């Protein structure tokens, strides 16, 4: 038996193959269950016990050499790209599930697109701001009671550093750096210290707009917002402006649209009034223009601001603002066909 083992050792040293198929045949010949090496292991069981130590040692060496040699041959073909099973091009391809834009992004992009058609540029600014850009330059002096209207996240005091409560701070930065005419919108994330509920959140998104030029009137503001409302909510949408108060605009107004669900007839969404509030607006207060070194005797302007969450909830009849922040795939998958 030792002679046969030694003979196979020499035979295996000289093994060679011209293709991956031949290499597989060598494996079957020597290492399969009925291969030559396996047969020797079967015979090993029948030899006398006093020979098993010597024969077993040589037999294990044979098996190891056979494995190494055949693997070496097969790896050579694999590295050359031979012997691999070709792809079956008739099989269906692997599918990849596509995601979709977040509903807030969908609506924000729609708003930006509508105002871009009116010549508005998009401007952005920091979310961590100073008191001057968030309050003081917008006609909020330190003792002004309107500061109580916006609960703020302060990061530091003396000087005050805070998370912006509105994107109006970007309006100030644009007015400081750019001479009129100015026509821009300011989408972004804002923060207020509010209890989280179905109707409110400490994080939300705004789009504000600013137009400053010579002879800008309230009529320009009204027509701009009417065009925007019809483009976003439909051609039959009506608007109404109600007197209101904001420190940075005078006169100021709240804008309502005719309820998109009932068409203005009255339902539980509009509380049977036929109207739904969507934004605040007004003519820029001369004090705000002067704070940014813009001559209020020469220039006038209007500003407006809306919450993207509120617009999205109205547009898609969403009842709970918290859904926007929960990353629930069942909720987000509903907007695949709406994404742009």
Q: Which residues of 35-48 are buried (b: 16+ CB within 10 A; e: fewer)?
A: bbbeebeeeeeeee
Q: For the residues of 221-236, what is the DSSP string, one character each?
A: HHHHHHHHHHHHH-TT
Tell how far CA 24 is from the center of its chain.
50
How far, in Å, CA of 134 to CA of 168, rounded? 7
Tell how many helices (H) and how many strands (E) occur in the chain. Answer: 11, 10
Q: Are 250 and 283 in contact (CB under 8 A)?
A: yes
Pairing of strands 128-130, 161-163: antiparallel
Listing from the earlier edge strand, what are the strands of the sheet with 121-122?
A: 121-122, 182-191, 203-213, 300-307, 275-284, 249-258, 239-246
The answer for residues whose C-beta is within 8 angstroms of residue 232's C-beta and 6 or more apart is: 110, 111, 114, 311, 315
Was 10 annotated as part of a binding site?
no
Coil, strand, or helix at residue 21? helix
φ, ψ dihedrals at 283, nearest 5°: -85, 135
Rounded (10°) angle between helices 20-31 and 49-79? 170
* The pair of three-digit structure tokens given for residue 29, joined into one six-digit string: 């010949």
Question: Would you report the helix, strand and coil content of the chain in percent, each value rounded to 5?
Answer: 40, 20, 40
Coil, strand, or helix at residue 79? helix
Coil, strand, or helix at residue 103? helix
Cβ atoms within 10 Å of 250's Cβ, excluding its own = 15
Q: What residues does 129 pair with on adjacent strands?
A: 162
> Residue ranges for the binding site?
250
Binding site residue list for Mg(2+): 250
């Amino acid at each position: 038996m030792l002679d046969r083992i030694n003979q196979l050792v020499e035979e295996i040293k000289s093994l060679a193959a011209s293709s991956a198929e031949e290499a597989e045949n060598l494996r079957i010949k020597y290492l399969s269950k009925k291969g030559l090496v396996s047969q020797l292991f079967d015979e090993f069981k029948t030899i006398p016990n006093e020979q098993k130590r010597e024969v077993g040692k040589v037999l294990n060496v044979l098996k190891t050499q056979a494995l190494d040699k055949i693997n070496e041959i097969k790896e050579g073909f694999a590295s050359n790209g031979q012997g691999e099973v070709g792809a079956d091009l008739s099989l269906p391809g692997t599918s990849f599930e596509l995601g979709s834009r977040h509903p807030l992004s969908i609506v924000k992009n729609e708003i930006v697109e509508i105002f871009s058609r009116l010549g508005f540029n998009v401007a952005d600014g920091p979310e961590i701001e100073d008191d001057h850009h968030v309050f003081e330059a917008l006609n909020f002096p330190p003792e002004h009671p309107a500061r109580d209207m916006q609960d703020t996240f302060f990061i530091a005091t003396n000087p005050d550093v805070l998370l912006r409560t509105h994107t109006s701070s970007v309006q100030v930065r644009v007015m400081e750096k750019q001479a009129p005419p100015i026509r821009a919108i300011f989408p972004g994330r804002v923060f207020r210290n509010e209890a989280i509920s179905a109707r409110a959140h400490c994080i939300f998104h705004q789009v504000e707009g600013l137009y400053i030029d010579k002879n800008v009137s309230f009529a320009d503001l009204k027509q701009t917002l009417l065009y925007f409302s019809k483009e976003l909510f439909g051609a039959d949408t009506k608007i109404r402006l109600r007197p209101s108060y904001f420190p940075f605009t005078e006169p100021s107004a709240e804008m309502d649209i005719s309820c998109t669900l009932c068409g203005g007839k009255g339902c539980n969404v509009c509380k049977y009034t036929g109207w739904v509030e969507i934004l605040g607006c007004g003519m820029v207060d001369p004090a705000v223009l002067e704070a940014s070194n813009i001559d209020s005797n020469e220039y006038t302007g209007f500003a407006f601001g809306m919450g993207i969450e509120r617009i999205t909830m109205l547009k898609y009849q969403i009842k709970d603002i918290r859904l926007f922040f929960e990353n629930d795939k069942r909720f987000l998958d509903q907007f695949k066909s709406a994404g742009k």
